[in-house]
Amino acid sequence: MLEKIPGAVGEALSGLKAGRDKTAVHSDFSDIPDTVTLTSPAFADGADMPARFTADGAGVSPPLAWSGLPAGTTALVILVEDAGSPTPRPLVHLIAWAIPPEQAELPEGALASPGHPGSGHALGQNSFLRAEWLPPDPPTGHGPHDYVFQIFALRQSPALAEAPGRGALIDAMRGHVLAKGTLTGVYYRS
């Protein structure tokens, strides 16, 4: 969808970015220990994300793995936000919640995305109000976008309605987050 924005408009907006400081790990849970390791076999932290996980490719969710969960973890939440979006707040690309702690990874395509059913994980609403992985789709010429994959280890699974939004998720997590971790994938259209 955003690939249709002319490159000149993307370049004109290149100085406007939501910023990492507005992602949940920084704005809502900055005091939580950053002790969970989140990785992907598809890209390194801070490296370019392969196009197959974006609107320019198949748009499937990337594979993720984690370790270092603290004792007492009963549920995991993964939240992905685009810190580079030309919006006041980062765009939400994924909310996955109620992930059991004994699950140490999500394979490629495990989460529902446009045209792909995933494998039945509890998902919240992305910024386009869909309970699925929103493939990165930055405006042409806007520059690199940091897609911040955030994992939260919780002492109890959040009590949420089906397909919660970011605000409901953050409110339900308050007081229950034991540890967090991040992985950043970069994507842009030149």
Condensed to tens digits (0 to 9), the pLDDT of residues 132-167 reads: 999 999 988 888 999 999 999 999 988 888 899 999
Distance CA 36, CA 182 (A): 8
Decide if 89 contacts 19 (C-beta within 8 A).
no
Average pLDDT, the chain: 91
Output the CA angle 126-133-115, nearest 5 degrees.
120
pTM: 0.91
E strands, the chain, in order = 37-39, 47-48, 64-67, 75-82, 91-99, 105-106, 145-154, 177-187
Task: Give me the amino acid identity at 100.
Answer: P
